[in-house]
Structure 1
Amino acid sequence: MLLYLARTTYHCWAHLAEAVREGRSQYLKAFGVPSEELFTAIYRSEDERLQFMRGLQDVWGVDGRSVLSAFDLSSFPVICDLGGCSGALAKECVSLYPGCRVTVFDIPEVVQTAKMHFPLPEGARIRFCEGDFFKDPLPEADLYILARILHDWRDEKCAHLLERVYRACKPGGGVLVVEGLLDADGRGPLTAQLWSLNMLVQTEGRERTPAQYCELLGAAGFGTVCCRRTRGLYHAVLATRGPPAPCSPRSLVPFN
């Protein structure tokens, strides 16, 4: 991930002042690549796509287990990792929860690269499925995972995606959102603030507070939303489809 940041993100940061003034990604200035189609810019070449995927592979090798164990997910036997990239988080999931099966859902180019460069061990209980989560049918699942996904997008696109996930959810099903969370007042932690600037120079999104994610999830229809802080860099927000419980958007539990 450090190699990816050094040769890509760092060059976008050279245009930080313009990003702040314009409020948009700096791929065009940094690399001459239009960023209207976000991941066309981020995956601007096969080599760049592979480097990005290797970076995420290492991120989930370090932080995957902590975010997947923030809640007991054993009651969700069928899981779909939306935008699951190389399947690194899925591997951590099946290791932690031996009773589950995971579908990794991502765009065709990513799935093809994953199969070529990140082969799965035999009997891994993981399969890949090609598609665009904004418009294609989502695989059936008891739990959907959105790990480092929502921070890429504006609120409107996040709302659209979460509504699609809600419609795909069975009663009692849910979604696990994994992100670096800002404090309630937005004044920390420093790591999340820096990531939010990364989102400014590279994407159309931003990091958010727990309350902002709860608002997005509640508006999509999820009745119960709980947040848990982990010991790693990323934290977990679990939302389920059903009537509001004590741990809901209207009475957000403190991190623990």
Structure 2
Amino acid sequence: MTIVQTNQTPISMPAMISAEEQTRNFAAQPSATSPAMALNQMIWGTWIAQSIYVAASLGIADRLENGAKHVDELAQETDAQSSNLYRILRTLASVGIFTEIAPRKFALTDRAHYLRSDVPGSLRAVSMMLSDEWHWNSWGDILHVVKTGQAPMQHLYGVDSTFDYLDHHPESRKTYNKAMNGWSKICHSAVVDAYDFSGIRQITDVAGGYGSLVSAILTANPGVKGVLFDQPHVVADAKAWLEKAGVGDRCNPVGGNFFESIPAGSDAYIMSHILHDWSDEECIQILKNVRRSIAAPGRLLVVEMVVPTSNEFSFSKWMDIDMMIMYPAGRERTEAEFRELFEAAGFRLTRVVSTAAPVSVVEGVVEKDT
């Protein structure tokens, strides 16, 4: 595989950049210095997303895995018009996605590498999901959401929720699932690197899907055992995934409903990207069920974005808008809001551990049994 990199550092996972650099890069690194021109480039920012979507949908990065190719060859392979495809790739190269190493001949860059479908933490499906008809149209309905509070899924499609829509559109659900899997792998790797799991005997992953997070934790901490808790039809298929990850002998899949009860017996409970889907009342109910199952001095670990209260750039603020549009009951929360949820459920928030990804580990403890 040939990757032409824009720097000399090895490629492992997407580099997480500072808030200052994110601000500079938000609209494709605007070169204009005047406020008007900087705003102008931000206004046209959707052009970047849609151009990336074209490259992602055509699988351009996969086709460059073994080396650079002329745009004519790429066009033939993707049944695209060469001249139009060239204009897309030339423009993407100007923002560091692909590079034109010779006239009309393109290669991968470190950014384009993550548009490949077969790499850990691939973002190809994320691009395709965000430009899928249901998501694109829902964001186009944002003014209606702000003025009325009505969700686009109800306003545009006549269904109660995003998940109802996806249940009736299997191809979109397939893309959605791939997108969530790629994004989760990035976040889970960052969590395992940032948080010290030593001292934990057994950890339960609440609503952990097929077990990617708990598998990563157990792999990095051979002395820890795990419980994977999710809906029965999910955990029925999880055993094979856990075996493939090499932790099947240390992780027990258990089915159930977290609004009803959560298995007892672990000294730590973790949930990733769960609470942001639900209202405060529903979150407190979930956390109370964890509290009933955990004994002092147990740990609660919530992996979520934490919204800063200052004016600084934060991806969490943009994700919160996506939650407002796509999942109206949910939201991204500040540290103070997490603290209130924890206290209402019988936990004390002890610290927020930042990671290299845009998520943090919000840690809570049970100090004494009730």
TM-score norm. by structure 1 comes to 0.81
Alignment partner of 1:106 is 2:235:
no
The aligned residue for residue 73 of structure 1 is 197
The CA deviation string for residues 185-219 of structure 1, in whole angstroms up to 9 with x for no partner, is 4x443311110011111111111111211121122
How far, CA to CA, are the matches of 2:360 and 2:274 in structure 1? 13
The aligned residue for residue 14 of structure 1 is 140
Question: Quick one: which of 334, 347, 355 aligns to 1:222?
Answer: 347
Query: Does the CA-based 8 Å contact 2:242-2:251 persist in structure 1?
Result: no
How far, CA to CA, are the matches of 1:42 and 1:98 in structure 2? 38
- Equivalenced residues, count: 239
How far, CA to CA, are the matches of 1:60 and 1:87 in structure 2? 11
Give the deviation of 1:41 after TM superposition. 5.0
| Range with greater deviation from structure 2 (59-68 or 153-162) | 59-68
Aligned CA distance change for structure 1 residues 71 and 178 (closer, same or farther; 3 Å): same
Aligned CA distance change for structure 1 residues 183 and 108 (closer, same or farther; 3 Å): same
Aligned CA distance change for structure 1 residues 161 and 120 (closer, same or farther; 3 Å): same
Say which SS state the counterpart of residue 13 (structure 1) adopts: helix
How far, CA to CA, are the matches of 2:176 and 2:239 in structure 1? 15
Alignment partner of 1:134 is 2:241:
no
Runs of 4+ in 1 over 4 A off after TM superposition: 38-50, 112-116
Which amino acid letter does the alignment assign opposite residue 147 of structure 1? Answer: S
Give the deviation of 1:10 after TM superposition. 2.7
Which amino acid letter does the alignment assign opposite residue 76 of structure 1? Answer: I
The aligned residue for residue 274 of structure 2 is 149
How far, CA to CA, are the matches of 1:139 and 1:159 in structure 2? 18
- What aligned pairs does 1:1-256 form with structure 2 within 5 A after superposition? 1-7=126-132, 8-35=134-161, 39-40=163-164, 43-44=167-168, 47-112=171-236, 114=238, 118=241, 120-121=243-244, 122-124=246-248, 125-185=250-310, 187-203=311-327, 204-242=329-367
Aligned CA distance change for structure 1 residues 123 and 90 (closer, same or farther; 3 Å): closer
Aligned CA distance change for structure 1 residues 209 and 241 (closer, same or farther; 3 Å): same
Say which SS state the counterpart of residue 131 (structure 2) adopts: helix
How far, CA to CA, are the matches of 1:55 and 1:101 in structure 2? 28
Which amino acid letter does the alignment assign opposite residue 22 of structure 1? Answer: T
Give the deviation of 1:239 after TM superposition. 0.6
Give the deviation of 1:126 after TM superposition. 2.9
The CA deviation string for residues 74-100 of structure 1, in whole angstroms up to 9 with x for no partner, is 222211111212321122111221112
Aligned CA distance change for structure 1 residues 103 and 22 (closer, same or farther; 3 Å): farther
Question: Which protein shows a greater Rg?
Answer: 2
Matched residues, percent identical? 27
How far, CA to CA, are the matches of 1:16 and 1:114 in structure 2? 37
- Structure 1 unaligned blocks of 5 or more: 244-256
Higher relative contact order (CA 8 A, sep 6+): 1
How far, CA to CA, are the matches of 1:175 and 1:43 in structure 2? 32
Give the deviation of 1:72 after TM superposition. 1.4
Which amino acid letter does the alignment assign opposite residue 151 of structure 2? Answer: S
How far, CA to CA, are the matches of 1:82 and 1:46 in structure 2? 26
Give the deviation of 1:39 after TM superposition. 4.6
Query: Does the CA-based 8 Å contact 1:53-1:85 persist in structure 2?
Result: no
Give the deviation of 1:23 after TM superposition. 2.8
The CA deviation string for residues 209-251 of structure 1, in whole angstroms up to 9 with x for no partner, is 11211121122111352111222111111111106xxxxxxxx
How far, CA to CA, are the matches of 1:19 and 1:151 in structure 2? 18
The CA deviation string for residues 7-26 of structure 1, in whole angstroms up to 9 with x for no partner, is 24333212111222233532
The aligned residue for residue 49 of structure 2 is none
Which amino acid letter does the alignment assign opposite residue 98 of structure 1? Answer: P
Which amino acid letter does the alignment assign opposite residue 91 of structure 1? Answer: S
Aligned CA distance change for structure 1 residues 139 and 158 (closer, same or farther; 3 Å): same
